[in-house]
């Protein structure tokens, strides 16, 4: 196969992935829009005014970037884990495995699908946020880069979950017991400067903390951490997970006997 044929294969996977989540938009796009609206209503409009300002911004403005980032993380992860595990479960992953597609293209196709859903949901949640508060983007390039890197990273994490999952329970465990706590403790709703020294140190071990803060810096221009450190850490995680995914695919873990 030549480069053009590889691109056709990649495009086919991406179109299939995007069509899949677009076809079931009531399950994939609508729920985050509804739940994030509730976050804005409860934490922004009802509780927010009592909290006052945080880092010089209204509370609702302060939490908006974190809430958008939370929806991107959840959606990109959920897209890849459910799609890849579904393909394993129904065995139509075999359609790709028998075809002359290098594993890097299979992986890239799934990840691009995850990025697409993450960005689509992120856009919808941003539009929802505009009903509650003004949003102005301080550093557009940083915003776009962080969104791309974060959705890539969590698409990769979802892919790994999909590889190891043997039953539907396995694709719910990680989001419920690992992802959600990390997101909530990642500084979505507060600045870590409010925490005691010890918990500030613990928070710095959470990779999501860097993503939320980098995104908040792009939107508002404020961050709990140095933006370069945030990018370095996100990049390290992304490269590490990409390499791990490719290794697992090449070994046939979870997909070949």
Partner 1 sequence: MKALQITNLKKTYKSGLQALKGISLEVNEGDFFALLGPNGAGKSTTIGIVTSLVNKTDGKVNIFGLDIDSHSVQAKSLIGVAPQEINFSQFENPLEILLNQAGYYGINRKTAYGRAEKYLGNMGLWEKRNEPSRTLSGGLKRRLMIARALIHEPKLLILDEPTAGVDVELRRSMWDFLIEINKQGTTIVLTTHYLEEAEKLCKNIAIIDKGNIIENTSIKSILSKLDIETFFFDLRHAQSTPPVINGYDYHMLDGSTLQVDISKQQGINNLFSQLSEQGIEVLSMRNKSNRLEELFINLLKENKTDSQV
- 96-105: long-range contacts, CB 8 A cutoff, minimum separation 24: 96/13, 97/255, 97/256, 99/9, 100/1, 101/6, 101/9, 102/6, 103/246, 103/249, 103/250, 104/246, 105/6, 105/9, 105/10, 105/13
Nearer to partner 1, 90 or 176 (CB): 90
Q: Which is nearer to partner 1, 176 or 257 (CB)?
A: 257
Binding partner 1 by CB under 8 A: which of 38, 98, 141, 205?
A: 98
90 interacts with partner 1 by CB under 8 A? yes
146 binds partner 1 (CB under 8 A): no
In angstroms, the CA 150 to CA 153 distance is 5
CB 250 within 8 A of CB 112: no
- Which residue from 190, 251, 246 is spatially nearest to 222, judged by alpha carbons? 190
**Is residue 138 involved in binding partner 1 (CB under 8 A)?**
no
Determine if 6 is a binding residue for partner 1 (CB under 8 A): yes
- Report yes or no: 153 and 238 within 8 Å, Cβ to Cβ: yes
Among 4, 131, 196, 198, binds partner 1 (CB under 8 A): 4
The reply to whether 27 sits near partner 1 by the rule CB under 8 A is: no
Stretch that binds partner 1, among 12-20, 113-121, 142-150, 240-248 (CB under 8 A): 12-20
The secondary structure of residue 192, as a DSSP letter, is G
Closest C-alpha to 221, from 68, 65, 92: 65
Interaction between residue 252 and partner 1 (CB under 8 A): yes
The answer to whether residue 11 forms part of the interface with partner 1 (CB under 8 A) is yes
Q: Is residue 134 a contact residue for partner 1 (CB under 8 A)? A: no
Task: Give contact residues for partner 1 (rule: CB under 8 A).
Answer: 1-2, 4-6, 8-9, 11-13, 15-16, 20, 23, 87, 90-92, 94-102, 252, 256-257
């Amino acid at each position: 196969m030549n480069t053009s044929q590889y691109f056709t294969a990649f495009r086919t996977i991406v179109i299939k992935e995007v069509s899949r989540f677009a076809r079931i938009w009531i399950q994939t796009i609508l729920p985050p829009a509804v739940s994030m609206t509730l976050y804005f209503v409860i934490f922004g409009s009802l509780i927010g005014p009592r909290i006052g300002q945080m880092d010089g911004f209204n509370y609702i403005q302060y939490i908006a970037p974190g809430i958008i980032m939370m929806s991107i993380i959840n959606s990109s992860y959920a897209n890849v884990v459910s799609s890849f595990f579904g393909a394993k479960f129904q065995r139509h992953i075999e359609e790709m495995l028998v075809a002359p597609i290098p594993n890097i293209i299979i992986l890239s196709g799934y990840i691009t699908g995850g990025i697409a859903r993450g960005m689509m949901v992120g856009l919808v949640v941003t539009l929802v946020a505009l009903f509650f508060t003004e949003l102005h983007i301080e550093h557009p390039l940083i915003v776009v880069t962080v969104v791309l890197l974060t959705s890539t990273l969590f698409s990769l994490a979802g892919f790994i979950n999909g590889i190891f999952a043997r039953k539907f329970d396995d694709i719910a465990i990680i989001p419920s017991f690992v992802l959600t706590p990390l997101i909530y403790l990642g500084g979505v709703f507060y600045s870590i400067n409010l925490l005691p020294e010890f918990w500030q140190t613990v928070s710095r071990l959470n990779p999501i903390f860097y993503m939320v803060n980098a995104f908040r810096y792009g939107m508002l221009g404020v961050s709990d951490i140095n933006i370069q450190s945030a990018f370095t850490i996100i990049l390290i995680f992304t490269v590490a997970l990409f390499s791990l995914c490719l290794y697992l695919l090449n070994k046939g873990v979870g997909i070949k006997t």
